[in-house]
Structure 1
Amino acid sequence: MKNPLQKQFDQLETYLEKGNLVAPNVSAKGIYWHIDHSLRILEGVPEMMRQSKPEDFKPKSSLLKFVIMNTSWMPRGKGKAPKDVLPDEGELDKDSIKVRLDRTFHQVNSIRDLDEKAFMRHPLFGSLDKKETIKFLKIHTHHHIKILKDIVKKSNA
C-alpha cells in the first residue's frame, strides 16, 4: 500500500502530460515549473535529512509555522523558496522533468528508512523532525497539486 507522499508523487507525474500550460490568473509559473519545483523539494529533503546531525537540531516557533503545520494550508504567492529549489526556466521540458521524476521516486521512498533523529532545516521553521518533515512535504506537495489543478481548470475555461 502506498503512503500519502507516494500517492502525491504519482499525482505530480500525471500532470506532466498537460505540457507547460500557464494560467496567469492562477500562477505566473506553468505546469512544468510547479512539478519541477515540487520534485526538487522531494528530492533534496531526504538527502538533507540523511546528512543531518542530531546535535544540530534547532526548532523554531512561529505563528506561520503553527498555522501551516496545524491546518495543512499554505497561502499562495507568499513564500520565497531558496534558489536551489527554483527551476531554471530554460531547462523545463518533459524529458528533463521525467529524469528528475525517476531520481526523486527513490528519494521519496527512502524517507521511511531514515533514522528517527534525521531532520530537515527549513529557512523559516527551523529544524523539523522526521515526522514534521514528512507532514511538511505532504502539505507543500498538496499546495502545488492544488495550483496544478487550478492551472488546468483555468486554461480550459
Structure 2
Amino acid sequence: MSLEKLNRAIATLESHIENREFSNPKISKSNVAWHIDHSLKVINKVSESLQQSDPKSYEDNFSLLGKVFFTLGFFPRGKAKAPKHVIPPEVISKEDLISQIQLAESNVNSIATLEKNSYFNHPFFGNIKTPKIYRFLMIHTNHHLKIIRDITSK
C-alpha cells in the first residue's frame, strides 16, 4: 500500500462531504459525516502516535488477528467498537471535516519521513510499525468508504 493510494482515499472521503447528512439505518446507525469524521480521526491519531513513538522501544507483538485481517485486506462490519478518542462528536460541521482532511493530508505525507520502527499500538492488533501503517490505514479507510457508498447508493 502506498502513500498515493492513501491520499486518493482521503480525497474520496472529501468528495463525500457533500453527502454528510445522508443516513440509512439498515446499513449503519451513523450517518456519512460520522464515517468521514471517524476515518479522519483514525488517520490523524495514528499519525500522531507514530510521530510520538520511540522507535527504540518497538516490540513485535503483532497479533494473529492482525495478521488475518491484514492478509484478507478488510475488516468485517459491526464487529469492533471505536475507541473513545476516535468517536466523532454529536455535531459534525463541514468546516471541521475540511480542517481534518487538510491535517490528514499533511500527516500521511509525514509518515514517509519516520523511522521504520516508529509504531502505533492498536488495541486488538498490537504494535503496527511504519512500513505496515499505510496498509492498516487503507484497510480501515476502505472499510468506512464501503459503508459510505452503501449508505449513499440506497
TM-score normalised according to structure 2 size:
0.92
Residue by residue over 1:25-71, the C-alpha shift from the partner in whole angstroms, topping out at 9 and shown as x without a partner, is 11000110000000001111111101111243233354421221101
Contact 1:23–1:151, Cα closer than 8 Å, also in 2: yes
Distance 1:58 1:77 in 2: 29
Offset at 1:109? 1.3
Which residue number in structure 1 is paired with residue 77 of structure 2?
76
Equivalent residues of 2:27, 2:151 under 8 A apart: yes
1:104-119 to 2 correspondences below 5 Å: 104-119=104-119
- How far apart are 1:101 and its partner, in Å? 1.3
Q: What is the aligned partner in structure 1 of residue 135 from structure 2? A: 135
Pick which of 63-72 and 5-14 moved more.
Answer: 63-72
- How many residues align? The count is 153
Q: Partner residue of 1:148?
A: 148
Runs of 4+ more than 4 Å apart: none
Is it true that 1:46 corresponds to 2:47 in the alignment?
A: yes
Secondary structure in 2 matching 1:89: coil
Identity, % of aligned pairs? 36
- Residue matched to 2:102: 102
- Structure 2's unaligned 5+ residue stretches are none
Q: Distance in 1 between matches of 2:119 and 2:77?
A: 25
2:93 aligned residue: 93
The alignment's C-alpha RMSD in Å is 1.6
* Contact 1:50/1:114 (<8 A) preserved: yes
Amino acid paired to 1:21: F
